[in-house]
Each structure stands twice: as C-alpha cells, then as structure tokens.
Amino acid sequence: MSSLGQIFAILVAIASYCGDGCKQGPCYSSTPTTPSGGGGASVQSLVTNAFFNGILNQAGSGCAGKSFYTRSAFLNALGNYPQFGKGGSSDDTKREVAAFFAHVTHETGHFCYIEEIAKSTYCQSSAQWPCNPNKQYYGRGPIQITWNYNYGAAGKSIGFDGINAPETVANNPVIAFKTAFWFWMNNVHSRIVSGKGFGSTIRAVNGGECGGGNTPAVNARVGYYTQYCKQLGVSPGNNLSC
C-alpha cells in the first residue's frame, strides 16, 4: 500500500471510531463547544434553586403564590420556549433572565400573588376574542397577563381556552409560566437582544408607568433588575428607565 493509501486508511479508521458517544481518544476534546446564540450561558444554569428561591422566600408565609410558583414549573414551561435567553451574547442571556425576573418580582410581589389584587373585567371589544360576559380577564400568573385579547391568543398558542377559562392560569403553575413566556417572547424578547435596554422592557410590560405615569413602580423594577444583574455577574447596560 502506498503512503497516501496508508494515510487514507488511518483517517477512515479514526472516523469509524469517533461517534456521538465518544468520551475519550483522538476524537474527543475536553473543551466544551459554545452553544450558538447563547454565548455559553444557559437559562437553566442561571436560574438555580438558590436564585429562584431567593425571590420566593421573600414572600410572606401566607402568600398563595408561595406554594404555586416553583422552579420546576418554570423549567417545564421554558421547554416550550427554547429561544428565551437566546439570540445574543452570554451577557444578553443574563440580562434577559434578570429582566424577566425583575418584572415577575414586581408583578407578583416576590411570587406572593397569583391573581391581581384590584380585579376588573379588562374586556376590550374584539371580533376575534369576544369576551365571555361571565369571565374577567384581570392579571394572573408570573407576568400578570391581562385583557381578553391576550388571554385568547395565549390560550390558542399554549392549548387552553383563555376566553372561557381564564382562571386556568391561576390554577396550573406550568400554564401560568407559559403565559409569561408567551407574552415575553411576543412583546419583550427582541428588545433585550437588540440592545434597547431594560427601560424598553418596562414600556412593553406596563407602558402606563413610563413618562412619569408611575415613577415609584419604574424605580422598583429597575432596582430588581440591577440587583439580579449583579447576582448573575453582568452589567445592567444602558437605558434602564423609561
């Protein structure tokens, strides 16, 4: 066999040896590859039990949400939204996690509330999502999803009847987190990965607070965001307020 033929035979042998299950040898590198779009940071690794429970434990013992919101439900729902925390750098992933939990912390009082305190009908005339006169579409879940059109669209996407059974969000923690992710991915995610800053996410979640509408609420959201950024080891970036 010629030298060229011998080299080819060796390469074929190595290719046959290497496979998906290879853990050592010439095909194995001990240096992990960096996942695309996430910069090496995964949401699961950032939202540890300590991080999640650090928020939850600040809720009072009598809070309904204390036994409703769990990291397990969060991760279960996350599985349906694989683009959350993706699309930018590792720092973008951390900022998105910090922003998400900043808003959730503010909306639920550190996971205390499942439903809005000041309940109202929140029905807007809609041919596509006509309100059930016997139901109310006030805030429920981690992001406090509100209005009939959001319940209808979220329900269609997730797989529950948001118009006729909006209370599902307050009864099923996984669905509750799915509504939060649904709202986030449709209204907020792009603002983070495009570098518009945390202030832009406040405008997306509750724009009525911006421009002096509710300065204390804006300041509270910014405070939670900067706190979580510090915990995750990332700078909060610019344009924090709105």
Count Cβ atoms within 10 A of the Cβ of residue 221 and give its class: 0-12 exposed, 13-18 middle, 19 or more buried: buried
Q: Would residue 124 count as lying in a domain?
A: yes
Residue 33 has pLDDT above 60, yes or no: no
Residue 157 belongs to domain with CATH number = 1.10.530.10
Q: State how far the Cα of 168 lies from the Cα of 162, in Å rounded to an integer.
A: 8
Decide if 38 contacts 82 (C-beta within 8 A): no
Q: Would residue 192 count as lying in a domain?
A: yes
Mean pLDDT across 223-228: 98
Span 85-100, pLDDT tens digits: 998 899 999 999 999 9
Expressed as residue numbers, the domain containing 223 is: 48-232
Predicted TM-score of the model (pTM): 0.83
Q: State how far the Cα of 166 lies from the Cα of 152, in Å rounded to an integer.
A: 9
Q: Would residue 43 count as lying in a domain?
A: no
Q: Rounded to 10 degrees, what is the CA torsion of 79, 223, 67, 84?
A: 0
Q: Would residue 143 count as lying in a domain?
A: yes
Q: State how far the Cα of 213 lies from the Cα of 53, in Å rounded to an integer.
A: 31
Q: Would residue 33 count as lying in a domain?
A: no
Q: Would residue 24 count as lying in a domain?
A: no
Per-residue pLDDT, 10: 37
Q: Would residue 163 count as lying in a domain?
A: yes
Span 179-198, pLDDT tens digits: 999 999 999 999 988 999 99
Active site residue 116: no
Please state the domain count of the chain. 1
Q: Which of 107, 115, 116, 167 is catalytic?
A: 107
Span 201-224, pLDDT tens digits: 999 999 999 999 999 999 999 999
Q: Which residues pair with 7 in a beta bridge?
A: none
